[in-house]
Copies of this chain bind each other. A is one copy, B any other.
Amino acid sequence: MTAVTGFDTFDVRFPTSRSLDGSDAMNPSPDYAAAYLVVRSEDESRSGHAFVFTIGRGNDVELAAIRALEPFVVGRDLDGILDDLGGLWRRLVGDSHLRWLGPEKGVMHMAIGAVVNAFWDLAAKRAGLPLWRLLAGMSPEELLELVDLRYLTDALCRDEALELLSAGQDGKQARIAELEAHGYPAYTTSPGWLGYSDERLTALLEAAVKDGFPQVKLKVGADLDDDRRRLRLAREVVGGGIDIAVDANQVWEVAQAIGWVRELAGFDLAWVEEPTSPDDVLGTAAIRRAIAPVRVACGEHVANRVIFKQLLQAGAIDVMQVDACRVAGVNENLANLLLAAKFGVPVCPHAGGVGLCEVVQHLAFFDYAALSGSSEGRMVEWIDHLHEHFVSPASVVAGRYLAPKAPGTSAEMLASSIAEFAYPSGPSWSGPLATFGGA
């Protein structure tokens, strides 16, 4: 037996607020950060990497939550854990003491996601496969064993889930081959940050067109006149053949969202993202009804599968945006993908930040290969930023993600990057800006 020996944790932060990369109406000056975890075992060659993405302050709190989970796995048989990742999920999410701190939301739930994903990294490495291939190779029964349907059964019962997973097996090998040959569609948010000048917006949009992206996304919601000007500019630059989505990052009230989007509807929006509080199922549904046919997309801040279930039940969203780090890891995202399949809503994962593209691409590839079986209206967000810090960076060519090939979840960061951006002791934080008060 190979025992799990412990967690190494790292507070890694990138000073992105200095350049306003990532600035939107809700988040004016993020410092993209990773509460980074390495699960160690007695076999030094076997370690699992994962992280929670945050935007700076509080990254240390997320690390404290991750460390609180160490006693659940230390000393246990690594392969025993990997053979029952559904059991690991239930043990961590179901612990009654830790559950009190959510339940199933916020700091503790995201920490569980990191631990679960670190073991998925180990599982995929053991199998010698990238995560999406490991998942796509499983039987419907094996996949179902990974998913906790608790609180979902009024929308998705076990038999329906099994049926969806079984249907996903049809043509699977051909889709895997197609993905490996041609990748999966991407759209880009790189041009659209609120903090960028019109000149920079224009230059980045021109690059996006040249790079072959079918869709770009702009941040909106701070100032209506600015939004109009930037959307007019964007449409001029990209022309009619490329979709433009907008993202309000939760800044609006329900009535305000409706009014604001109606003012922008003439720009032929591909979708409106996060118009209001991510907890507001009923408010989002009211917005969607009022702004139709403009579509609504949500998910990057949806705390768990129970909120996703309701967004679908209420007809609140046209697009589901799962995130790699918001919920409790791969297992819960499998539940989310199943819910989307049940309701026939396309999944367009949220990405960006640091490392989110790397991890979430696997979910989209799996979804196409072995669940939805369709790429229609589906694509993964892409932001060309901070990928150089990863051992196996995600890669987009001609507007498509290339299929990840390296064994694991692609979460592993370069040791040199971890050292360089360690907070607050790393060289990148030793300047005069390295203190509290970046907001």
Copies in the complex: 2
A388 in the interface, Cβ–Cβ < 8 Å? no
Within 8 A of B (CB), among A253-267: 253-255
- Please give the distance in Å from A285's CB to the nearest CB on chain B: 10
Is the beta-carbon distance between A96 and B62 smaller than 8 angstroms? Answer: no
Chain A interface residue bracket vs B: 35 or more
| Interchain CB contact under 8 A, B254 and A31 | no
A314 partner residues in chain B, CB cutoff 8 A? 282
Main secondary structure of the interface of A (DSSP, over half): loop
Segment among A105-113, A216-224, A332-340 that sits at the interface with chain B: A105-113
* Identity of the chain B residue whose Cβ is nearest the Cβ of A31 in the assembled complex: B97
Q: Does A162 contact B (CB under 8 A)?
A: no
**Chain B residue nearest in CB terms to A52:** B101
Q: By the criterion CB–CB under 8 Å, are A30 and B97 in contact?
A: yes
Interface string of A267-286 (1 = CB under 8 A from B): 00000000011111111001
A154 partner, pick from B95, B151, B254, beta carbons under 8 A:
B254
A165 in contact (CB, < 8 A): no
Contacting A276 at CB < 8 Å: which of B57, B151, B277, B301? B151
* Cβ contacts under 8 Å, A105 to chain B: 102, 105-106, 279, 303
Q: Please, which residues of chain B bring their CB within 8 A of the CB of A151? A: 253, 276-277, 279-280, 283
- From the candidates B96, B101, B306, name the one contacting A30 in the complex (CB within 8 A): B96
Query: With A68-B58, A150-B253 given, is the CB distance from A282 to B279 under 8 Å?
Result: no
Q: Does A375 contact B (CB under 8 A)?
A: no
Contact at A61–B310, with CB atoms within 8 Å?
Answer: no
Name which residue of chain B comes closest to A103, CB basis.
B301
0/1 string, A68-111, CB within 8 A of B gives 1: 10010000000000000000000000011111111111111110
Q: Can you list 24 A-B contacts (CB < 8 A)?
A: A26-B99, A28-B96, A30-B97, A31-B97, A54-B101, A57-B95, A57-B98, A58-B98, A60-B68, A61-B61, A61-B64, A62-B101, A101-B106, A101-B110, A104-B279, A105-B279, A151-B280, A153-B254, A153-B255, A154-B254, A154-B255, A279-B307, A280-B309, A282-B313
